[in-house]
A and B are shown apart, each in its own frame.
Chain A
Amino acid sequence: MSQDAFASLYAAHEKIYPREIHGRFQSLRTAAVYLLLGLYYALPWLQWGDRQAVLFDLPARRFYVFGLIFWPEDFFYLAWLLVLAALTLFLSTALAGRLWCGYACPQTVWTEVYLWMERWVEGDRNARIKLDRAPRTWRKILRKGLKQALWIGFALWTGFTFVGYFTPIRDIGAHLLAGELGPWAVFWWLFYALATYGNAGYLREQVCKYMCPYARFQSAMFDEDTLIIAYDTRRGEPRGKRKKGVDPRAAGLGDCVDCSRCVQVCPTGIDIRDGLQYECIACGACIDACNDVMDKIGYPRGLIRYTTERRDREGRLRILRPRIAIYALLWAALAGGLLAALWGRPDLAAALIHDRNTLYRMVGADRIENGYRLDLLNKTDAPRRLTLRLEGGPPGLALDGPRSFLLGPAERVSVALRLVAPRDAVRAPSSTVVFSFEEDGREVARREVRFLGPVSSGR
């Protein structure tokens, strides 16, 4: 890459100073911040019995989610969940545009909090612009230093919480104080803290504009019935300043007073009056700002508002359409299927594999032996006792190995088993043996395996 390319890219970016606003959509956004970040920071501290309620224990290779325990074998559920999440995004985008971007995306949510901290320390938009342009004084250094301290502190807390999803968070606290936190935990803590600090403090809207793939392909889910935020050109133009009390129509003006509030509040620094742009994250800040101005000068609200292309053209909303129906049906099928699959999830995993190296072995002159590996996994939080019963196979078949298994909570047991049969009883090169696992006299798992013998045994 050439130096020039970088230089020009740097020059193209101008720092955006979003102005503070109040209004319906800002309140929604604030509520979303509290809800989502509240969940993020509180969840690892919740206990379930005597363990952390939500813990992705990677070193032990198991995930705890409240009453459920997931194993690498359950990867399927995770994949299913991700497909469901993607479909949720498609459905919500087709219906209401970039709801995700405006209210729920971690990038938006953390940026919002970083802006709050910036505002507390450096003041409102004008004060921030002035401070940045001011010469370096002690006051400026103090302000900037305080902001950095808040930002870094918040980033460290965020990183700490992130690691708390993978290592018991109550232990990390103690380990941290004792200075014996594992190196990879420290690494991820600082890595996540740095990512938060950089993304929410500095990159901000650039992440949405230049890095986010969803921002680029979300338009594929749009149609002319999707909710978008738009400026009412017919009503607003021609825009212009005016004296108080002047009838805009008589002066040949539209309703837009060209106060540029909608531009000042925009977190991505665009002018919504230029039409729908891919930079727009649909946060609704410009709606709040414009409504506020309209109220003040006594014009009706809604010069900038949520609308659809069709509503602007034909004056009607069309919510139910084939695209929505298909997304909704798929979504319901997947969500229902996932719930059903989780509901009926076996709480015992039993894998029985025939010895891969040897088909069968002769023991002495008159007996044939087959080897197996049995893997049992107790997926519950309670201890369980299983007994093994055999069905089928050659007459006189005997098990060499344990018949009874005590599995501790969430314990995995792996044992080698051998089946032995008299040589004369083995009449076929291959026969089926059923392993039936019983708990309290009830069959809880059933596995079929092959019992192999010499090919010549088919006499």
Chain B
Amino acid sequence: MHAAGAVLWPAFLAAAGASVPFFAAFDPAELLAHATWPVVLTRGWAYTVFFFFFWLLAGTASALTWLLAGRNDG
């Protein structure tokens, strides 16, 4: 439980930190129109999906760190 919190929460902050400047710089509607794989998402969904994708990435990194650093959690 503590480990889950210690992994997910920093990843959440990282995902928020990644999403905000990313979407300030790029409009998902235009980005997706030029995507290699055709993706059909409204902006509302694109923000949501990308945010969780960032969260998943950062969470994976967090979890690996936790695993490699010896599970030395609170």
Q: Chain A: residues with CB nearer than 8 A to chain B?
A: 1, 5-6, 9-10, 13, 58-59, 61, 72, 75, 78-79, 182-185, 187-188, 203, 206-207, 209-213
Chain B residues 32-50 with CB under 8 Å of chain A are: 42-45, 47-48
Asked whether A209 and B74 contact (CB < 8 A) given A75-B25, A78-B20, A185-B44, the answer is: yes
Interface centre among B44, B47, B48 (most CB of A within 10 A): B44
A75 touches B3 (CB 8 A): no
Total CB contacts across the A-B interface at under 8 A: 61
Chain A residues lying within 8 Å of B23, measured Cβ to Cβ, are 58, 72
Chain B residues 2-34 with CB under 8 Å of chain A are: 2-3, 5-6, 9-10, 13, 20-21, 23-25, 27
B43 touches A6 (CB 8 A): no
Asked whether A72 and B24 contact (CB < 8 A) given A9-B73, A210-B73, the answer is: yes
B43 touches A75 (CB 8 A): no
Query: Complex Cα distance A439/B25, Å?
Result: 29
A210 touches B20 (CB 8 A): no
Query: Complex Cα distance A336/B73, Å?
Result: 42
User: How many Å from the CB of B44 to the closest CB on chain A?
Assistant: 4
Tell me what chain B mostly uses at the interface: helix, strand, loop, or mixed: helix
A9 touches B3 (CB 8 A): yes
Chain B residues lying within 8 Å of A213, measured Cβ to Cβ, are 10, 13
Q: What residue of chain A has the Cβ atom nearest to residue B41's Cβ?
A: A184
A9 touches B25 (CB 8 A): no
Query: Complex Cα distance A61/B31, Å?
Result: 14
Asked whether A5 and B25 contact (CB < 8 A) given A58-B44, A78-B20, the answer is: no
Q: Kindly list the 9 A-B residue pairs having the minimum CB-CB distance in the complex, ordered from nearest.
A: A75-B24, A211-B5, A184-B44, A210-B2, A211-B9, A210-B74, A72-B24, A59-B43, A184-B48
Chain B residues lying within 8 Å of A58, measured Cβ to Cβ, are 23, 43-44, 47
> Can you list 15 A-B pairs, Cβ within 8 angstroms, ordered by A?
A1-B67, A6-B1, A9-B3, A9-B73, A58-B23, A59-B44, A61-B27, A75-B20, A75-B25, A78-B20, A185-B44, A187-B48, A203-B5, A210-B5, A210-B6
Q: Place the interface of chain B in its size category.
A: 20 to 34
Chain A residues lying within 8 Å of B2, measured Cβ to Cβ, are 9, 206, 210
Contact of B25 (CB < 8 Å), options: A10, A72, A187, A207: A72
Chain B residues lying within 8 Å of A61, measured Cβ to Cβ, are 27, 43
Chain A residues lying within 8 Å of B3, measured Cβ to Cβ, are 1, 5-6, 9
Query: Complex Cα distance A418/B10, Å?
Result: 50
Chain B residues lying within 8 Å of A206, measured Cβ to Cβ, are 1-2, 5
Chain B residues lying within 8 Å of A5, measured Cβ to Cβ, are 3, 71
Contact of A78 (CB < 8 Å), options: B9, B24, B45, B71: B24
Asked whether A1 and B24 contact (CB < 8 A) given A59-B42, A210-B5, A211-B6, the answer is: no
A-B contact sample (20 more), CB < 8 A, given A58-B23, A206-B1 = A1-B3, A1-B67, A6-B3, A9-B3, A10-B1, A13-B1, A58-B43, A59-B42, A59-B44, A61-B27, A61-B43, A75-B21, A78-B24, A183-B45, A184-B42, A187-B48, A188-B48, A207-B5, A210-B74, A211-B6
User: How many Å from the CB of A82 to the closest CB on chain B?
Assistant: 9
User: How many Å from the CB of B65 to the closest CB on chain A?
Assistant: 13
Chain A residues lying within 8 Å of B67, measured Cβ to Cβ, are 1
Query: Complex Cα distance A61/B42, Å?
Result: 12
B44 touches A9 (CB 8 A): no
Q: What residue of chain A has the Cβ atom nearest to residue B5's Cβ?
A: A211
User: How many Å from the CB of A439 to the closest CB on chain B?
Assistant: 27
